[in-house]
């Protein structure tokens, strides 16, 4: 997780559970992105182990 400038997100906001499937991770982000954004997370990257699946994906609210 990154802050709004591309740096590391605040430690207290930058943790997430492990998920058994990509769809579960995407559902979780869809549910909690407003809280993550409010806590200082500006973008997230989906990882599978050490491999980057996609990202960073902005958590900025739509206009």
Q: Is the pLDDT of residue 63 over 80?
A: no
Q: Is the pLDDT of residue 9 over 90?
A: no
Residue 52 belongs to some domain of the structure: yes
Contact 42, 58 (CB under 8 A): yes
Residue 5 belongs to some domain of the structure: no
Bigger pLDDT: 2 or 31? 31
Q: Which domain holds residue 29?
A: 11-58
Contact 46, 35 (CB under 8 A): no
Segment 29-53 shows an average pLDDT of 90
Q: Which residues pair with 58 in a beta bridge?
A: 43
pTM of the model: 0.76
The number of distinct structural domains making up the chain is 1
């Amino acid at each position: 997780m990154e802050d709004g400038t591309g740096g590391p997100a605040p430690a207290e906001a930058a943790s997430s559970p492990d998920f058994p499937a990509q769809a579960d991770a995407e559902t979780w982000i869809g549910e909690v992105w407003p809280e993550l954004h409010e806590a200082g997370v500006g973008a997230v990257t989906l990882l599978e182990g050490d491999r980057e699946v996609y990202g960073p994906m902005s958590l900025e609210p739509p206009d």
